[in-house]
Structure 1
Amino acid sequence: MEVIVKFGSFEKSGDRFIGIVDGDNVERIDGDIFNDEYNQTGDIYSISELKILPPVTPSSMLALAKNYGSHLQGESPPKQPEPFFKTISSISAHDQEIVIPRDSEKVDAESELVVVIGKLAKDVPQDKVFDYIFGYTCGNDVSARDWQKGDKSWWRAKSSDTFSPIGPFIETEIDPENLNITGKVNGDVVQSCNTSEMIWSIPKTVEFITKYVTLFPGDCIFTGTSGTAGQINPGDIVEIEIDGIGKLVNRCV
């Protein structure tokens, strides 16, 4: 089968479907992308005709804390990966609005590379991890800092509705270990890093997580953020761009 690079999820006139992204065009496919059991239908649309949806609907979603040295703010690096769960209900799509809770004093955007799992993964050794990954997308781990510091858990600080934008598409053929990530708020660069700066690599992270938690096709792992994240407020436009993957854009309300 031909090697496909980018996949996305779309809606047209209430009809939802998966498509292969080729420049500004999308070809509809039928079937299961994770098992390579799909057919190219020949139905081609312009992206401008379509509503872009979250590229996957995971059964679970995790994110890494403290995975870039520049984000530690004087703390010691963690002795192991520090994943936490984010709720599926917090997922939002490219061009979807991020709702800023009015009772939070400070909400930040976090620019992150997101790993998309491609097959059932349990007890995966480091040297086999990339065999279990379907692809990569852009993610924004939106974070209410006052709740993150004041609550006993991060349930609302990291998982309020719309706090997990992902997309716009999944890139399946890319080296994730040397990618530039840029975060902007209203056109101003607020974050800039390279995935080579991760404290815990993707293979080490997936090995650690799957020692305890089974991951399924479509599950997502946010791999951490760098530096000091940019504060966001209603009316702001957030852009997260990753080399070779694309740009995730959301407006805050």
Structure 2
Amino acid sequence: MIIRFERNGKVKHGWMVEADNKVRVIEGDIYKIQTAKPIMTGLELPLDEVALQAPTAPSKVVCIGVNYPDHASEMDIELPKEPLMFLKPSTTVIGPGEPIVYPKLTKNLHYEGELAIVIKKQAKKIKAEDAEDYILGFTCAIDVTARDLQMSDGQWTRAKGFDTFCPLGPAIAAKLDYNDLRIVTRVNGEVRQNASTSQMVFSIPQLVEAVSAVMTLLPGDVILTGTPAGVGELQPGDEISVTIEEIGTLATRVVMEE
């Protein structure tokens, strides 16, 4: 799996070998597939000697709302007839272990565990049947939401756009069968969400087609694919994790804004 890490002040990509607790360092841009391809340097580092970052640094995060029927029911929202899109700015993105900051502007902070698509190359007006050619892989995500702001004024981007509101990680799993992956969200060790990607209203290829019909997706951009039922509140001090089979566990905590 592909990771992005910092060591000695430099950020690089690497290939994580969990069984050996190592990372194989990659040189070059992993997204430049047409020209200078990234290469394996042969250098291996212990995982505990590197600091994991968000596995991608997107120009934008495109989010899909209400993409699981059970979540629509719990929120008392009708299922959309086409993908419901909104954006998170790049400044929302944080990596594994980086804290979610609870803003003073909200009194009702919620988690939403999700599968995230990472785009491999520029994508514009892509057909669903060609979508896999444009996907680098998948990672775990938490769509953090100031629910009171979202419900009071309907401004989804404001409610979901605060700094730290999009944890991503721990790695990008390439060549993944995404049709029936188990997603489990835990808060303080208690299971809050437990569902499968097979329950999605709109499939991964359909989402890539719908989003790329509207905006150009750039290498490293992310599409969050929606959350299943079980969303709920977070409090300062809470520990939260999202585990997706074949990818791993994204874990972080909540701290109060100073």
Equivalent in the alignment of 2:17: 22
For 2:162 and 2:77, locate their aligned partners in 1 and report how far apart those are by CA, in whole Å. 26
- In structure 2, the residue matched to 1:69 is 69
Task: Output the CA distance in 2 between the equivalents of 1:208 and 1:94.
Answer: 29
User: In structure 1, what is the Cα distance between the partners aligned to 2:149 and 2:92?
Assistant: 16
Shift of 1:152: 4.1
Question: What is aligned with 2:31?
Answer: 34
Q: What is the distance in 2 between the residues matched to 1:155 and 1:124?
A: 25
Instruction: Find the residue that maps to 2:229 and give its secondary structure.
Output: coil
Give, in angstroms, the shift of residue 230 of structure 1: 2.7
Conserved? CA contact 1:185–1:230, under 8 Å: no
What is the letter of the counterpart of residue 39 of structure 1? I
Contact 2:5 2:12 in 1 (8 A): yes
Report what 1:91 is aligned to: 93
- Which one of the candidate residues 104, 124, 127 is aligned to 2:126? 124
**Residue in 2 that maps onto 1:3:** none
TM-score (norm: length of structure 2): 0.93
1:212 is displaced (CA, Å) by 1.5
Which runs of 5 or more structure 2 residues have no equivalent in the other structure? none
Instruction: Report how far residue 220 of structure 1 moved.
Output: 0.2
- Tell me which residue corresponds to 1:80: 82
RMSD: 1.1
Q: Per the alignment, in what secondary structure is the counterpart of residue 178 of structure 2?
A: coil
Determine if the alignment matches structure 1 residue 104 to structure 2 residue 106: yes
Alpha-carbon displacement from aligned partner over 1:166-196 (angstroms, at most 9, x marks no partner):
0011000211111000000000000111000
CA distance in 2, matches of 1:161, 1:169: 21
Identity percentage of aligned residues: 38
Worse-superposed segment, 131-140 or 155-164:
155-164
Q: Aligned pair 1:11/2:6, yes or no?
A: yes
Q: Distance in 2 between matches of 1:109 and 1:48?
A: 28
The answer on 1:55 being equivalent to 2:74 is no
Residues 178-237 of structure 1 deviation map (CA, whole Å, 9 limit, x = unaligned): 100000000000011100000011111111111111111101000000113131111100
Residue range with higher mean Cα deviation, 230-239 or 73-82: 73-82
- Write out aligned runs for 1:156-195 (5 A): 156-195=158-197
Q: 1:211 aligns with which of 188, 213, 234?
A: 213
Find runs of 4+ consecutive structure 1 residues off by over 3 angstroms: none
Once the 2 structures are TM-superposed, how far is the Cα of residue 46 of structure 1 from its aligned partner? 1.2
3-state SS of the aligned residue for 1:203?
helix
1:156 to partner: Cα distance: 2.7
Quote the Cα distance in structure 2 between the aligned partners of 1:83 and 1:156: 14
Alignment equivalent of 1:241, drawn from 240, 243, 247: 243
Asked if the contact 1:112/1:140 (under 8 Å) is kept, the reply is yes
State the Cα distance separating 1:140 from its structure 2 match: 0.2
Query: How many residues align structurally?
Result: 248
Counterpart amino acid of residue 29 in structure 1: I
The whole-number CA distance in structure 2 between the counterparts of 1:103 and 1:61 is 22
SS at the partner of 1:33?
coil
Q: 1:191 touches 1:230 (CA, 8 Å); kept in 2?
A: no
What amino acid does structure 1 have at the position aligned with 2:17? Answer: D
Q: Determine the C-alpha separation between the residues in 1 that align with 2:127 and 2:111.
A: 32
Distance 1:233 1:214 in 2: 36
> After alignment, is 208-217 or 28-37 more displaced?
28-37
